Amino acid sequence: MIEYEKDLNNEQWRVIEQGDGPCLVLAGAGSGKTRVITYRVAYLLEKGIKPENILLVTFTNKAADEMKKRLVQLMASTVIPAASGNPDDSTGHWIPNQVGNDKSGNLPWAGTFHHIAYKILKQYAPVLGYKNNPALYRTAAGGSGSGFSVLDSDDSESLIKLCAKNYKIEGESKKFPSAKVLQSIISYARNSETTINDVLELKYPQWMIVGDQIKSIADEYYLKKKEANSMDFDDLLVNFLNLLNNEQVLKKFAEQFKYILVDEYQDTNRIQASIIKKLASAHKNLLVVGDDAQSIYSFRAADVQNILQFAKDYPDAKIFKLETNYRSSQEILQVANEVIANNVKQYKKELKSLQPAGLKPALHPQMDQSGEAEFVAQKILELIKNDVPENEIAVLFRAAHHSQMLEMELAKAGIVYDYRGGVRFFERAHVKDVLAYLRILHNFADTAAWMRVLMHEEGIGPAAAGKIVEALKNVTNTEDVKIVGQEVLGEKARAGWYNFVRIWESMLGQSKTDASGLIDAVIGSSYKDYLEAEFIDSKDRLEDLAQLQIFAKKYSELEQFLAEASLQESFQITNNQQRTTNNSSGKKVVLSTIHQAKGLEWSAVFILNLSSGAFPSDRALREDNGLEEERRLFYVAVTRAKKHLYLTYPMVAGFGRQSFGGSDGGPSIFLGEIGSDLLDDHSLLSSGNGLVLNDEEAGVTYELEDHRQGGASKPLRIKPGSFLRSVEDL
Partner DNA sequence: TTCCAGACGTTTTTT
Partner DNA sequence: ACGTCTGGAA
The answer to whether the Cα torsion of 190, 191, 197, 200 is positive or negative is: negative
The residue (of 567 and 645) whose beta carbon lies closer to DNA is 567
Q: With left for phi above 0 and alpha for psi between -120 and 50, is residue 105 left, alpha or beta?
A: left
Q: How many residues bind DNA (CB under 7 A)?
A: 47
> Per CB under 7 A, which region of 280-288, 325-333, 505-513, 590-598 contacts DNA?
590-598
Does residue 542 contact residue 528 with C-beta atoms inside 8 Å? yes
DSSP letter for 107, please: S
Three-state DSSP at 401 gives: helix
Judged by CB under 7 A, the residue of 31, 53, 61, 689 near DNA is 61
Check binding of 66 to DNA (CB under 7 A): no
Chosen residue from 401, 412, 502, 714 binding DNA by CB under 7 A: 401
Q: In angstroms, give the least distance from the CB of 368 to DNA.
A: 15
Q: Using CB under 7 A, which of 39, 233, 504, 527 touches DNA?
A: 233
Judged by CB under 7 A, which of 33, 68, 398, 725 binds DNA? Answer: 398
Spatial neighbors of 596 by CB under 8 A, at least 6 apart, are: 420, 421
Residue 501 burial (C-beta neighbours within 10 Å; 0-12, 13-18, 19+): middle
Tell whether residue 138 is a contact of DNA (CB under 7 A): no
* Min CB(112)–DNA separation in Å: 4
- Give least dist CB 156 to DNA, A: 9
Question: Residues 656 to 685: which contact DNA by CB under 7 A?
Answer: 656-657, 660-661
- In the complex, the smallest distance separating the C-beta of residue 439 from DNA, rounded to whole angstroms, is 17
373: helix, coil or strand?
helix
Contact characters 164-193, DNA, x per CB under 7 A: --------------xxx-------------
Minimum CB distance to DNA, residue 690 (Å): 21
User: Residue 112's beta-bridge partner residues?
Assistant: 58
431 within 8 A of 425, measured Cβ to Cβ:
yes
Candidates 1, 344, 463, 536: give the one binding DNA (CB under 7 A): 463
CA torsion sign, 159 to 425 to 241 to 130?
Answer: positive
Task: Determine the 3-state secondary structure of 245 from DSSP.
Answer: coil
Q: Is 203 helix (H, G, I), strand (E, B) or coil?
A: helix
Is residue 19 near DNA by the rule CB under 7 A? no
CB nearer to DNA: pick between 331 and 629: 629
Q: Which of residues 608-637 bind DNA (CB under 7 A)?
A: 617, 619-620, 623, 626
Least separation in angstroms between CB 711 and DNA: 16
Q: Cis ω on the peptide bond leading into residue 720 (within 30° of 0)?
A: no
Binding mask 358-387 for DNA (x = CB under 7 A): ------------------------------
Listed in sequence order, the residues at least 6 apart from 2 whose beta carbon sits closer than 8 Å to its beta carbon are 42, 43, 46, 78
- Rounded CA-CA distance 79/87 in Å is 9
In the chain the first and final C-alpha atoms are separated, in Å, by 67
Neighbours of 49 (CB within 10 A): 18
Out of 13, 299, 498, 535, point to the residue binding DNA (CB under 7 A). 299
Shortest distance, CB of residue 493 to DNA, whole angstroms?
6
Dist CA 225 CA 228 (whole Å): 5
Residues that bind DNA (CB under 7 A): 59-62, 112, 114-115, 152-153, 178-180, 233, 296-297, 299-300, 398-401, 421, 424, 458-465, 492-493, 567-568, 593, 595-596, 617, 619-620, 623, 626, 656-657, 660-661
